[in-house]
């Protein structure tokens, strides 16, 4: 055993040897918190703090006689006016303990008289409470205010007994505003909350002090704001899996939060390149970048022409004093690709289910005329449309758009044939292409 351990053991032995004479008599309680006084001089007493509601008398003190011997207990209460202790309760029960209850705030002293003599102890008792209110006095489209008001005093006053001067005991109030009872949004009694939620939300004002006393007040924020958002759904690509073809029909699924039905505004802007060309031609001025406005909750719109289009949604929430709006732009452009024409260089009619028809593929065309000739220039097949609605639907709904390789009901002679395709693309450009292809008779 080292020297420090021996010294510590010796001190413990001395303390226990003194216990029978000291016996640690005291004033105790079931207070929420006990803190020492800060008198200017002399020994210090304890301050017993009891939590409750305003007007409650929860305070109680327990005196225990030295060595747990039977005794009489004379309780007194400090009189701030006379600076003396006045009689409060005389307990001659002869018990080892004495309890006084339902105490008003103040300083209490007990004289304990037993076989070992008279022992005196002093303690302070306070009935503590926290009273607060909560309200939302202001609410607009940008923010709202959570306002808490502390009604109960933030300090206790006790007396420095050696000098008879008042001393303040600060409660050290702490505040929390909690959203939906969990997330802390502020630790300031009156707080501005920006970016308000789009749904009605409960806020809890929790006020606590150093003595673990607490007040909790719930208040509901009624949302007057909206958050705009949407998703765009395009049809399955049929003509070319790489691109979206004009006319392009897009469904806009409105996913806005807390917007008023019937109050949504959609803005579809003109083709980006068209706007740039107009701006360059007019010294940076664009007459109108908006292609169309739509006032439907979840519209469908057909982009008739090729181009790059931006879409904006404005959501509105109308309340008694405010009309709040929010704007959402697509993260990328809607692109209806430019027109093109492609033709195969061989086909094998024969009803074997493989390459039986000569199919000229056109993309984002508005008008199309297809002509097929033999080597001597005789026209064998013609198909024309002034309002093409996509390539794949044309094949299904208009079989005459393609050549089945027959002339007069019979499969044409194998050999070289010629085609000419002309028309107008939905990008506004004239398109013309021609060439030859080989017809092989299928087996």
Confidence of residue 395 (pLDDT cuts 50, 70, 90): confident
Architecture of domain 132-221: Sandwich (2.60)
Whether 397 has a pLDDT exceeding 80, the answer reads no
The predicted pLDDT at position 393 comes to 62
Q: Is there a shared CATH topology between the 3-128 domain and the 132-221 domain?
A: yes
Architecture of domain 340-439: Sandwich (2.60)
- Give residue-wise pLDDT tens across range 165-194: 999 999 999 999 999 988 999 999 999 999
Confidence of residue 10 (pLDDT cuts 50, 70, 90): very low
Tokens 């949004």 sit on residue? 185
The predicted pLDDT at position 208 comes to 97
For the domain made up of 3-128, give the CATH fold: Immunoglobulin-like (2.60.40)
Architecture of domain 230-336: Sandwich (2.60)
In the chain, domain spans:
3-128, 132-221, 230-336, 340-439
């Amino acid at each position: 055993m080292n020297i420090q351990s021996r010294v510590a053991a010796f001190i413990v032995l001395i303390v226990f040897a003194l216990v029978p004479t000291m016996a640690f008599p005291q004033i105790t309680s079931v207070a929420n918190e006990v803190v020492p006084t800060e008198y200017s001089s002399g020994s210090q007493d304890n301050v017993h703090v009891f939590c409750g509601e305003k007007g409650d008398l929860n305070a109680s003190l327990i005196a225990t006689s030295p060595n747990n011997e039977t005794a009489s207990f004379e309780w007194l209460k400090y009189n701030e006016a006379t600076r003396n202790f006045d009689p409060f309760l005389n307990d001659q029960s002869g018990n080892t303990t004495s309890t006084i209850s339902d105490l008003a705030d103040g300083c209490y002293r007990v004289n304990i008289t037993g076989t070992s003599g008279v022992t005196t102890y002093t303690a302070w008792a306070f009935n503590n409470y926290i009273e607060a209110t909560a309200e939302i006095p202001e609410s607009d489209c940008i923010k709202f205010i959570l306002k808490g008001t502390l009604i109960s005093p933030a300090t206790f006053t006790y007396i420095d007994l050696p000098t008879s001067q008042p001393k303040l005991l600060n409660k050290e109030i702490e505040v929390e505003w909690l959203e939906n009872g969990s997330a802390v949004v502020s630790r300031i009694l009156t707080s501005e909350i920006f970016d308000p939620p789009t749904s009605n939300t409960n806020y809890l004002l929790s006020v606590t002090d150093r003595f673990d006393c607490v007040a909790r007040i719930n208040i509901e924020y009624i949302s007057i704001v909206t958050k705009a958002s949407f998703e765009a759904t395009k049809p399955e690509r049929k003509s070319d899996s790489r691109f979206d073809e004009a006319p392009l029909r897009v469904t806009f699924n409105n996913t806005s939060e807390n917007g008023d039905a019937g109050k949504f505004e959609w803005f579809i802007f003109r083709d980006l390149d068209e706007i740039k060309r107009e701006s360059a031609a007019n010294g940076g001025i664009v007459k109108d970048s908006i292609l169309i406005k739509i006032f439907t909750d979840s519209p469908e719109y057909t982009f008739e022409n090729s181009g790059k289009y931006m879409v904006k949604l404005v959501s509105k929430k109308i309340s008694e004093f405010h009309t709040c709006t929010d704007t959402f732009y697509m993260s990328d452009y809607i692109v209806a690709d430019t027109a093109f024409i492609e033709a195969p260089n061989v086909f094998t009619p024969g009803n074997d289910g493989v390459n039986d028809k000569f199919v000229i593929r056109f993309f984002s065309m508005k008008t199309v005329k297809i002509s097929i000739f033999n080597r001597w220039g005789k026209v064998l097949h013609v198909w024309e449309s002034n309002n093409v609605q996509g390539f794949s639907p044309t094949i299904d709904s208009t079989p005459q758009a393609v050549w089945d390789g027959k002339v007069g009901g019979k499969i044409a002679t194998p050999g070289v044939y010629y085609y000419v395709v002309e028309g107008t693309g939905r990008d506004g450009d004239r398109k013309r292409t021609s060439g030859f292809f080989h017809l092989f008779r299928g087996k």
